[in-house]
Structures are given as structure tokens and as C-alpha cells.
């Protein structure tokens, strides 16, 4: 049988890998802390996004409830306003306005336009 050997050169170790750089320990700890801070910030922003979506859905449900109650109040107002007449106003002690003053403001500041921002 033929047997052979392989001669690997095991001579001296490389100097760059055998020695530890003086700042290596500091760099590793700084990078570990930076990684922990980044993971914490990521978790914070994900959690705050989730909470904001939950709060928005709660607010939308509350808005629907308020809009329903406003509709009921409008219906009640229209029912009650049918009973108001100039004679009834005089009975209640209301008088016509003598001097009127109007305030003009350019643009429509009473309307708030909102765009749906759903996910």
C-alpha cells in the first residue's frame, strides 16, 4: 500500500490574528450597547404604532356614537322648532333685534377637512 503524508506549514502564527487589538474589548461593548439601544428603540416604535392604531379605532367608535347622538338631537330640534312662531316668541319675552353687527372672516374657517388615514 502506498501511504503518503502531507506537509502543512505550521510555522509561526500570523501576527495580526494572534494579538488582540487594544480597543477590541471597548469596541465590542460599545457595539453591544448600541445594538441593545437600537432593539429597544425598535420595540418602542412598534409598540407606539400599535397603541396609536388602537386609540384611533377607539376614537372612531366614539365618533360614531357622538354622530348618532347628534342625529337624535337634530331630530328633536326640528320637532321642537315647529312649535316656534313669532307669537310664541313674544309670549316667551323675545324681541326683534334692533341693531345687528356681522363679523366677516375670509375663507371657511368653520369647516375642518380631514383625510382618512387608515392602514
pTM over the 0.95 mark: no
Domains of the chain, by residue range, sit at 21-92
Contact in structure between 53 and 119 (CB atoms under 8 Å): yes
Q: Regarding predicted confidence, which is higher, 6 or 99?
A: 99
Q: How far is CA 82 from CA 69, 70, 72, 78, in A?
A: 20, 19, 16, 6
Q: pLDDT for 47-61, tens place per residue?
A: 999 999 999 999 999
> pLDDT tens digits for 12-33?
655 555 667 778 888 989 999 9
Give the CB-side neighbour count of residue 50, counting CA atoms within 13 A: 6
Q: Which residue has the cell 460599545?
A: 30
Amino acid at each position: 500500500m502506498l501511504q503518503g503524508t502531507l506537509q502543512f506549514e505550521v510555522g509561526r502564527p500570523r501576527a495580526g490574528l494572534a494579538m488582540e487589538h487594544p480597543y477590541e474589548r471597548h469596541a465590542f461593548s460599545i457595539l453591544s450597547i448600541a445594538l441593545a439601544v437600537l432593539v429597544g428603540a425598535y420595540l418602542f416604535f412598534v409598540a407606539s404604532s400599535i397603541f396609536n392604531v388602537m386609540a384611533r379605532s377607539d376614537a372612531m367608535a366614539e365618533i360614531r356614537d357622538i354622530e348618532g347622538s347628534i342625529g337624535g338631537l337634530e331630530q328633536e330640534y326640528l320637532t321642537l322648532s315647529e312649535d316656534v312662531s313669532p307669537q310664541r316668541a313674544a309670549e316667551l319675552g323675545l324681541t326683534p333685534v334692533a341693531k345687528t353687527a356681522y363679523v366677516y372672516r375670509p375663507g371657511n374657517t368653520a369647516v375642518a377637512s380631514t383625510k382618512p388615514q387608515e392602514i
